[in-house]
């Protein structure tokens, strides 16, 4: 990398503000989530709560033992998402989807919503660049 | 008759309060003091969202605390809370409330600029009618704000802050009730608004702390509701431990 001092300052300034201003940290810290790993959960949407301060996606996932469990996935707010192509109808009960999440460190069945792949193959991104918070 | 009375009242008010509030339109009226004057103010219509990485005049400054407040920060860092009261839906107060990743909106009415902050549904009233701060203001999250136009720049002076809110992004970097913030809002170009903040605090800061942000205009957006208590499943308990509620229904 051959960065001038000024460019370097701009980069650092940009990163500092980016970290300070990320939507996920607007409301709470990221302490509870393991942002070093992404996992994919596949199941059937039970409910998509289009609410502040976060959307919540409740999805029924069948585990290795054949038992169906409900996972709760915290997502960006309807305010943020509504300006970026999402609606309260984007996920509907009965939709079969695969959701990529940062899981909870506690091992509880929950995480942060990163992106979602639908049965027809199309994908919707909720949180564009998860790398910036790693 | 009514008109005559109005002029008489205006003339009387001007005579008695010449140095303060101008109630009649004219050369001595403060910018934004009446509707015709408002039409000459910079067009801030639309909704403004902070741009990620936007800064004014160089890299962000590090905060320089007084020894007493540096000690408070050190004590916090030895056993840091996992989150802030924002997780419990408590707004951040100034200056943080102006730096949220949610839009803001400016409304002009005679003698006042109102800033609507979407995050936590906050509202700031900036009195531009020439009044002064109260001698002994109540201490609030967002303080008491008076403003003036210096050409095309809106200068906002705010005092009267509760010390309960943080100065920075963590709860260890504190300010006192003597914090004083001067904000300057200026259109950089048609669709970018620059904000520079100068934060002073004789108890907490060893030197003024400059912060800045650049907002981008979205004319087709509207401010949305943000009731944090609607479905808040995050929390921080009294010991500073963060948690999450996964009980569906």
B195 and B73 housed in the same domain: yes
Beta bridge partners of B184: B155, B196
Residues 6+ apart with CB under 8 A from B8: none
**For position B68, what pLDDT does the model report?**
98
Question: Do A15 and B53 lie within an 8 Å CB cutoff?
Answer: yes
B235 and B151 housed in the same domain: yes
Q: What are phi and psi of A11, to 5 degrees?
A: -65, -50
B16 and B112 housed in the same domain: no
Domain-located, residue B249: no
Domain-located, residue B105: yes
> Is the Cβ of B226 closer than 8 Å to some Cβ of chain A?
yes
pTM over 0.90: no
Which domains occur in chain A, in start order?
Answer: 27-133 (2.40.50.140)
Domain-located, residue B211: yes
CB proximity under 8 Å: A 107-126 to B: 108-110
Give the gap in angstroms from C-alpha B189 to the nearest C-alpha of chain A.
20
- SS3 of chain A: CCCCHHHHHHHHHHHHHHHHHCHHHHHCCCCCECCCCCEEEEEEEEEEECCCCCEEEEEEEECCCCCEEEEEEEECCHHHHHCCCCCCCCCCCCCEEEEEEEEECCCCCEEEEEEEEECCCCEEECCCCHHHHC
B74 and B19 housed in the same domain: no
**For position A111, what pLDDT does the model report?**
96
B89 and B179 housed in the same domain: yes
Please report residues of A whose CB lies closer than 8 A to that of B53.
13-15, 17-18
Task: Tell me the per-residue pLDDT of B161-192, one tens digit each, with 9 for 90 and over.
Answer: 999 999 987 889 999 999 999 999 999 999 99
B54 and B119 housed in the same domain: yes
Q: What is the mean pLDDT of residues B139-156?
A: 98
Please report residues of A whose CB lies closer than 8 A to that of B211.
none
The answer on pLDDT for A22 being more than 50 is no
Question: Do A32 and B243 lie within an 8 Å CB cutoff?
Answer: yes
B12 and B56 housed in the same domain: no
Q: Which domain holds residue B120?
A: 47-244
For chain B, how many structural domains are there in total? Answer: 2
Domain-located, residue B212: yes
B10 and B129 housed in the same domain: no
Domain-located, residue B20: yes
The answer on pLDDT for A14 being more than 80 is no
B113 and B208 housed in the same domain: yes
Q: Are A47 and B248 in contact (CB under 8 A)?
A: yes
> Is the Cβ of B40 closer than 8 Å to some Cβ of chain A?
no
Coil, helix or strand at residue B153: strand
Task: Tell me the per-residue pLDDT of B220-246, one tens digit each, with 9 for 90 and over.
Answer: 999 999 999 999 999 999 999 999 999
B160 and B227 housed in the same domain: yes
Half-sphere exposure of B228 (CA within 13 A, CB side): 18
Domain-located, residue B37: no
% chain B with pLDDT above 90: 81
Question: Do A29 and B58 lie within an 8 Å CB cutoff?
Answer: no
Give the gap in angstroms from C-alpha B155 to the nearest C-alpha of chain A.
23
The residue among B246 and B23 whose pLDDT is bigger is: B246
Domain-located, residue B106: yes
The answer on pLDDT for B114 being more than 80 is yes
Chain center to CA of A74: 7
Domain-located, residue B218: yes
The answer on pLDDT for B152 being more than 50 is yes
The answer on pLDDT for A112 being more than 90 is yes
The answer on pLDDT for B35 being more than 60 is yes
**For position B5, what pLDDT does the model report?**
54
Q: What is the mean pLDDT of residues A120-129?
A: 87
**DSSP label of B224:** P
Q: Which two tokens stand for residue A44?
A: 């059937």
Give the gap in angstroms from C-alpha B93 to the nearest C-alpha of chain A.
13
Given pLDDT bands bounded at 50, 70 and 90, which one contains residue B124? very high
In this prediction, does ipTM exceed 0.90?
Answer: no
The residue among B32 and B24 whose pLDDT is bigger is: B32
% chain B with pLDDT above 70: 89
Q: What is the mean pLDDT of residues B151-168?
A: 96
> Is the Cβ of A56 closer than 8 Å to some Cβ of chain B?
yes
> Is the Cβ of B100 closer than 8 Å to some Cβ of chain A?
yes
Q: Tell me how far apart the alpha carbons of residues B137 and B176 are, in angstroms, rounded to a whole number.
A: 14
Task: Tell me the per-residue pLDDT of B40-98, one tens digit each, with 9 for 90 and over.
Answer: 999 999 999 999 888 888 888 899 999 999 999 999 999 999 999 999 999 999 999 99
B23 and B115 housed in the same domain: no
B26 and B63 housed in the same domain: no
> Is the Cβ of B130 closer than 8 Å to some Cβ of chain A?
no
Q: Tell me how far apart the alpha carbons of residues B54 and B43 are, in angstroms, rounded to a whole number.
A: 21
Task: Tell me the per-residue pLDDT of A29-69, one tens digit each, with 9 for 90 and over.
Answer: 888 999 999 999 999 999 999 999 999 999 999 999 999 99
> Is the Cβ of B123 closer than 8 Å to some Cβ of chain A?
no
């Amino acid at each position: 990398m051959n960065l001038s001092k000024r460019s370097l300052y701009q980069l650092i300034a940009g990163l500092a503000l980016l970290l300070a201003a990320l939507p996920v940290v607007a409301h709470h810290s990221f302490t509870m989530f393991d942002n070093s790993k992404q996992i994919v959960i596949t199941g059937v949407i039970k409910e998509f709560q289009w609410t502040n301060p976060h959307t919540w996606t409740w999805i029924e996932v069948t585990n290795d033992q054949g038992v169906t469990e409900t996972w709760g996935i915290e997502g960006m707010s309807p305010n943020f998402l509504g300006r970026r192509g999402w609606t309260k109808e984007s996920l509907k009960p009965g939709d079969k989807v695969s959701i990529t999440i940062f899981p909870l460190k506690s091992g509880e069945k929950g995480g942060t919503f990163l992106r979602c792949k639908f049965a027809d193959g199309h994908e919707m991104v909720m949180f564009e660049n998860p790398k910036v918070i790693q | 008759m009514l008109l005559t009375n109005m002029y008489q009242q205006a003339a009387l008010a001007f005579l008695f309060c010449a140095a303060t509030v101008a109630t009649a339109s004219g050369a001595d009226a403060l910018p934004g003091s009446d509707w015709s004057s408002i039409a000459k103010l910079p067009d801030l219509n639309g909704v403004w969202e902070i741009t990620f990485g936007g800064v004014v005049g160089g890299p962000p400054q590090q905060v320089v605390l007084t020894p007493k407040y540096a000690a408070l920060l050190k004590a916090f860092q030895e056993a840091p809370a996992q989150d802030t009261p924002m997780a419990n839906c408590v707004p951040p107060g100034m200056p943080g409330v102006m730096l949220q990743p949610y839009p803001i909106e400016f409304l002009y009415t005679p003698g006042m600029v109102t800033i609507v902050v979407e995050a936590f549904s906050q509202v700031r009233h900036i009195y531009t009618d020439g009044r002064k701060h109260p001698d002994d203001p109540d201490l609030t999250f967002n303080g008491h704000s008076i403003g003036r136009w210096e050409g095309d720049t809106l200068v906002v002076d705010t005092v009267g802050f509760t010390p309960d809110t943080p100065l920075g992004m963590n709860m260890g970097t504190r300010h006192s009730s003597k914090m004083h913030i001067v904000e300057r809002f200026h259109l950089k170009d048609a669709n970018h608004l620059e904000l520079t903040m100068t934060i002073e605090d004789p108890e907490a800061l060893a030197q003024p702390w400059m912060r800045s942000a650049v907002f981008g205009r979205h004319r087709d957006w509207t401010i949305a509701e943000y009731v944090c208590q609607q479905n808040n499943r995050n929390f921080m308990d009294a010991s500073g431990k963060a948690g999450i509620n996964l009980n569906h229904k």
